[in-house]
Amino acid sequence: MIKKRGAEGIKDVVGSFLKKLEGGAAKKGNAVVEAWQSVAGDSAKDHSQPVSFRRGKLVIVVENSVWLYKMTLEKRILLKKFNEKYEGRKKAEEIRFRVGVVEEQMF
């Protein structure tokens, strides 16, 4: 005899799947932020923050055009150091800098 899975069973399966998915994204996000802060250094980490890391492209928001210029000059070095520190499966192939609002760091 085959038991049919009811609505509660499907709800549990989907809920469990979503929790795993969200947890993985949070871990990746924390790892990216931690690696960037380590690489950026004391002064730059207060004026920049990673906002996206998809398909090998790391996007960093910087506070103003001065930081954009400085980071752009150091792009290759920052990319190499980031890949050394980041413990994720896929390494960054490119860093893109954008001027925007840098939120206050929690730690």
Sorted by where each begins, the domain ranges of the chain are 7-99
Under 8 Å between Cβ of 37 and 73: no
Please state which CATH class domain 7-99 belongs to: alpha beta
The total of other beta-carbon atoms located within 10 Å of residue 45's CB is 16
* Euclidean distance between CA atoms 72 and 77, whole angstroms: 10
Type and span of the H or E element at 78? helix 75-85
0.85 exceeded by pTM: no
Fill in the amino acid letter for 78.
Answer: L
User: What is the rounded average pLDDT of the residues 38-60?
Assistant: 94
pLDDT at residue 7 greater than cutoff 60? no
pLDDT at residue 68 greater than cutoff 60? yes
Q: Which of 81, 100, 101, 106 is nearest to 91 (CA)?
A: 81
Mean per-residue pLDDT over the chain, rounded? 82
